[in-house]
Amino acid sequence: MTILEDARRVIDNGPVCDACLGRCFADRSFGLTNDERGHALRVSVVLEDDEPFEEPEAECWVCEGESDRFDEWAETVAEALEGWNFETYQVGTRAPPLVEENEVLLRESADLPEDAGELFKSEFNREVGKRVGVLTGTEVDFERPDVLALLNVEAGDDEELSSHAVDVQINSAFLYGRYKKLERDIPQTEWPCRECGGSGKQLAEGGGEEDCDYCGGSGYLYDESVEELTTPPVLEAMDGEEALFHGAGREDVDALMLGTGRPFVIEIKQPRTRDVDPEALQAEINEFAGDSVEVTDLAVAEHDMVERVKELDASKTYRMDVEFDADVTAEELQEAIEELDGATVEQDTPQRVDHRRASKTRIREAYDVSGELTDSRHAELEIHGEGGLYIKELVSSDEGRTEPSLAGILDVGAVVTALDVIAVEGEDEPFDHPDFLEEEA
């Protein structure tokens, strides 16, 4: 059968609009809209049959007239997106079940393959989407757009579309950077009080409630966090609904984060603006954080950076002060360091985190260990270790839960009194900005 014979059978199932006719043959030729394709087929059929040309007068029974409303839908989408700053978009369509059934019936009655041409919702996405791009001056993105407009065609009013027929999804915006924590006793994220569950209240002896004794009524164990010192300026600049902080691991609350800093991503949900100056915003964050936290390398990032940061298999370099329970000679310390340098370490979950982490045994590498005594009871060490290595326990042994350990080798009690993280980098590749922001080939 020829394409005109197929088209004739579709037309005979009329009234069918040009778009629905052309959609049955969307895989034939290129550079035409389905409306243009359908009109050309309709004209070709009457020319071959030597019949007068007549446009269908009744409404199309397949799409129920929706194929004539692409412009209206695009204008409604543009109106729904007013007030949102975005560069990329995508349009999706929820087709009425009746229209989908009509499409199946049309192909069956015209003896066409059930997968012939194109689906109604695919054409709707494309045709409305093209018009939205023109109206908003933005570009379509099928992977991760800034905004997504879902068209509920069935909810569209017969005479005038309203905003409730368009469901707008605003995707998050992301900023990557590195932070240095310059004061101790600041956690990375908010730390709710475990006694009151973050409420700041506890039951009073005589009934009722009173301020929690453990947290002083604040609901948190610490007054500040890296999250609280960095996210507010970003949230305000992007005019978003919520800010989330994602770090590449975390240091102990009593440890400083120095050197090149720790990679992080700030995610802003439902941002009304994305056009920010990272350099100026970085200066605002650092002024807001005072002398507690410093941010560097701030840059706009893509959504996949969150997972890349959170899943980073990072090694870390630590500098620490160590105190011994008994005198240690320089020779004894160097012999112990040589034994730990490059050692494979077996660690059971430390007692200090056992309440919040599953108990298991980890095998980690101590890549490089160096240090020296400052006096017979104190030493300064620098250790480069594999990600996940419990560094304090590598010194103290945690009552034998870590083997080997500095305390175990020296047979002297040892404890870390001050800890600084001076480098965080990927095990397989440097985690350096801006190279890490580049998309993988």
The string over 249-288, giving b where at least 16 C-beta atoms fall within 10 Å of a residue's C-beta and e elsewhere, is bbbbeebbbbbbbbbbbbbbebbeebebebeebbebbbeb
Asked if the model's pLDDT at residue 355 lies above 70, the reply is: no
Rounded distance, CA 316 to CA 314, Å?
6
Report pLDDT for 102. 95
Both tokens of 161, joined, read 């579309």
Q: Tell which residue, 404, 402, 425, has the closest CA to residue 353.
A: 402
- Range list for CATH 3.30.70.3190 in the chain: 314-426
Asked if the model's pLDDT at residue 251 lies above 60, the reply is: yes
Asked if the model's pLDDT at residue 345 lies above 60, the reply is: yes
Range with the lowest mean pLDDT among 46-60, 132-146, 237-251, 375-389?
46-60
Report pLDDT for 261. 93
Active site residue 185: no
Q: Is 439 exposed, middle or buried (0-12, 13-18, 19+ CB in 10 A)?
A: exposed
For domain 314-426, give its CATH number from 3.40.50.10330, 2.60.40.10, 3.30.70.3190, 3.30.1370.100. 3.30.70.3190
Do 81 and 136 meet the contact criterion of CB atoms below 8 Å apart? Answer: yes
Rounded distance, CA 155 to CA 66, Å?
12
Residues 6+ apart with CB under 8 A from 258: 180, 182, 319, 420, 421, 422
Per-residue pLDDT tens digits for 139-174:
999 999 999 999 998 876 555 566 678 999 999 999
Report pLDDT for 44. 94
Mean pLDDT of the chain: 89
Mean predicted confidence (pLDDT) in 115-126? 94
The pLDDT confidence band at residue 436, using thresholds 50, 70 and 90, is: very low
Report pLDDT for 388. 87
Mean predicted confidence (pLDDT) in 361-367? 94
Do 325 and 396 meet the contact criterion of CB atoms below 8 Å apart? Answer: no
Helix axes 70-80 and 120-136, enclosed angle (nearest 10): 50
- Range list for CATH 3.30.2300.10 in the chain: 3-170
Per-residue pLDDT tens digits for 71-109:
999 999 999 999 999 999 999 999 999 999 999 999 999
Do 283 and 177 meet the contact criterion of CB atoms below 8 Å apart? Answer: no
Provide the whole-model pTM: 0.81
CB atoms within 10 A of CB 100: 13
How large a percentage of the chain has pLDDT more than 70? Answer: 93
Report pLDDT for 199. 78
User: Of 146, 252, 297, 398, which one is the catalytic site residue?
Assistant: 252
Measured at the alpha carbon of residue 40, what is the angle toward residues 51 and 37, in degrees to the nearest 5?
145
Per-residue pLDDT tens digits for 5-44:
999 999 998 799 999 999 999 998 888 999 999 999 999 9
First-last CA distance in the chain? 47
The pLDDT confidence band at residue 412, using thresholds 50, 70 and 90, is: very high
Asked if the model's pLDDT at residue 364 lies above 60, the reply is: yes
- Range list for CATH 3.30.70.2510 in the chain: 173-202+211-310
Measured at the alpha carbon of residue 166, what is the angle toward residues 162 and 168, in degrees to the nearest 5?
135
Asked if the model's pLDDT at residue 441 lies above 70, the reply is: no
Report pLDDT for 433. 45
Report pLDDT for 47. 93
Instruction: Cite the DSSP H helix spans in 12-138.
Output: 18-23, 34-49, 70-80, 97-109, 120-136
Mean predicted confidence (pLDDT) in 231-260? 94
Give the chain's count of helices (H) and strands (E). Answer: 12, 16
The pLDDT confidence band at residue 435, using thresholds 50, 70 and 90, is: very low
Rounded distance, CA 170 to CA 285, Å?
24
The CATH code belonging to domain 173-202+211-310 is 3.30.70.2510
Report pLDDT for 158. 54
Mean predicted confidence (pLDDT) in 179-207? 83
Architecture of the 3-170 domain: 2-Layer Sandwich (3.30)
Per-residue pLDDT tens digits for 289-322:
999 999 999 999 999 999 888 887 788 999 999 9
Both tokens of 45, joined, read 């059929």
Asked if the model's pLDDT at residue 204 lies above 80, the reply is: no
Both tokens of 303, joined, read 């959504």
The pLDDT confidence band at residue 250, using thresholds 50, 70 and 90, is: confident
Q: Tell which residue, 370, 423, 430, 384, has the closest CA to residue 258.
A: 423
Per-residue pLDDT tens digits for 56-69:
888 999 999 999 99
